[in-house]
Homo-oligomer: A and B are copies of this chain.
Amino acid sequence: MGRQGASQLTEVELQILRILWDLGPSPVRDIHARLNADKGTNYSTTVKMLAVMLEKELVKRDETASPHIWRAAVTRDSTGKKMVKDLVDKVYDGAAMSLVLHALKSAKASPEELDEVRRLLDELEGK
């Protein structure tokens, strides 16, 4: 028995992507240093997760370099966009506004950022 497909990013996959978005292209050693700091896992685990993610094309590897250099194959932005869409669909039944309100309320936004939202709002209202 068990499960079938569906699949999003898993917990560790997202953690690793975050590290790569943050560090930029890096060797396993550096990625592992961060992951290990976060959760105390083994070096082999990091290597394995990267292999899994390579298979899923979430990361790319430059094997001409030594040690190999790894980089994210998806951007933070596109990933975020996808996850937002998913969240909106799954929790708010497509009503993105509730999410926006939640997010705004919990945000510590600078005036500049708020202005940016306001500008987008103007644009959406066609002013």
Contacts and interface: CB of A to CB of B under 8 A. Distances in A.
Nearest to A106: B85
A95 to B, nearest CB: 8
Interface residues of A, number: 45
B121 A104 contact: yes
Contacts of A60: none
Interface of A: 6, 8, 11, 14-15, 18, 22, 76-77, 79-81, 83-85, 87-88, 90-93, 96-109, 111, 113-114, 116-118, 120-121, 124-125
28 contacts: A6-B11, A8-B11, A15-B90, A18-B91, A22-B93, A76-B92, A77-B98, A79-B91, A80-B91, A80-B99, A80-B102, A81-B102, A84-B102, A96-B103, A96-B104, A96-B106, A97-B107, A100-B100, A100-B103, A100-B104, A100-B107, A101-B120, A103-B103, A104-B117, A104-B120, A114-B121, A114-B124, A117-B117
